[in-house]
Structure 1
């Protein structure tokens, strides 16, 4: 679940709901999870936003003015079976859900929405189109996102300098072996002679941000990641 939530921080969502109070409350929650939330108050506005913004996920109410959720989904599915869609409904809309099943929706939520169920449905929907989440666990609560080349600790992005980022990526790409100091120098400073102290200082800066135990020093050779912490 944590890995999925980290990925959602780089995703966009279109949320369509005609009830003003629910729209405002749910938008506030979605804004904490997603990179960007596009909000629509009816089906026509939702489709226009879908066309303009191409969101990574759509969450739509089943009953809306101008164009209801089923018509909205049908219009989208005429040309797009990739974008995951989650439907909002109530217990009274059971007959409409039967029709929705034929429109390839990725899940539905019963109103009033519970936070845990919202998260579960959203993560499940996103996984359909992104089986490989591109996340590498470095250690507990610490992940590397290969798609964005960012490090997350407890959901927050850790800022690195350019050389720190390059070295960390080099270690990640070669995480099952020890990287020699010569290999590090050639990769990070291909045109400049560099001394061992520069590499050592770079390692110290990364350790300060990620913990002393993540990078292992192999005496007389170089460095490697502590892969025992990654599984």
Structure 2
């Protein structure tokens, strides 16, 4: 692999302190952004806060095991890549969990070759594939977004969006859980970006928020916005 660090956010969850420190240090040789925790509860909190691109999870975690944690994440998130760390004795259990959409499982102790092959595979998946598991996104309060029709419904009623609101929502859907800067969004709406567009952008987002579930679009202060799914 080349020496350039990959610009992906990585979360590593492992309860063994020595393994955690060693693997975290190794992951930092490949990725710019690496966070680690020692249990599933802290892992889920950090997942919600950081919205990582990749999660490495040990199967045997205290209180909530790694498979149950990933099941919880997969209730709403089918895009984050997941790699499971497992002992040989747990392989059958991991292989039965096909619905969890694992990129790969790694047998402990990890070796450099397997880790590098996995990282190359993760990079290819993130670069080449965008996971959209269905044509309809189901949000809270019975809101649905139809990808093919670019149409928002509440229950069975179409929610009327202005052309800019619709274009904005499409942009958020294509970049779920990712922060989009003011410039990114202005460029999508007006093929231009400058500070003069910021107020118009804020007004469009304010009006869009009135028509969708509360807190679906979140403001990242001083940076931009993201849609949480």
Normalising by structure 2, we get a TM-score of 0.53
Q: Are the equivalent residues in 2 in contact too, given 1:56–1:84 (CA < 8 A)?
A: yes
State the SS of the aligned residue for 1:32. Answer: coil
Q: State the partner residue of 2:13.
A: 16
Q: State the partner residue of 1:114.
A: 111
Deviation at residue 119 of structure 1 after TM alignment: 1.4
Deviation at residue 10 of structure 1 after TM alignment: 1.3
Structure-1 separation of matches of 2:37 and 2:123: 20
State the SS of the aligned residue for 1:37. Answer: strand
- Alignment deviations for residues 112-131 of structure 1 (CA, whole Å, 9 cap, x no partner): 00011111112212321212
RMSD, matched Cα: 1.6
State the SS of the aligned residue for 1:93. Answer: helix
Q: State the partner residue of 2:125.
A: 128
Verify: 1:53 aligned to 2:50, yes or no. yes
Q: State the partner residue of 1:96.
A: 93
Deviation at residue 97 of structure 1 after TM alignment: 1.3
Task: Write out aligned runs for 1:25-104 (5 A).
Answer: 25-104=22-101
Structure-1 separation of matches of 2:85 and 2:102: 11
The runs of 5 or more residues in structure 1 that have no matched partner are 133-231
The runs of 5 or more residues in structure 2 that have no matched partner are 130-229
Pick 1 or 2: higher relative contact order, CA cutoff 8 A, min separation 6.
1
Number of equivalent positions: 129
Structure-1 separation of matches of 2:65 and 2:113: 26
- Alignment deviations for residues 50-88 of structure 1 (CA, whole Å, 9 cap, x no partner): 100011110000110121110111011111111110000
Q: Which aligned runs of 4 or more in structure 1 are off by greater than 4 angstroms?
A: none
Structure-2 separation of matches of 1:111 and 1:101: 20
State the SS of the aligned residue for 1:63. Answer: coil
Give the greater-gyration-radius structure (CA).
Answer: 1
Q: Are the equivalent residues in 2 in contact too, given 1:86–1:122 (CA < 8 A)?
A: no
Aligned with residue 105 of structure 1, among 94, 102, 105: 102
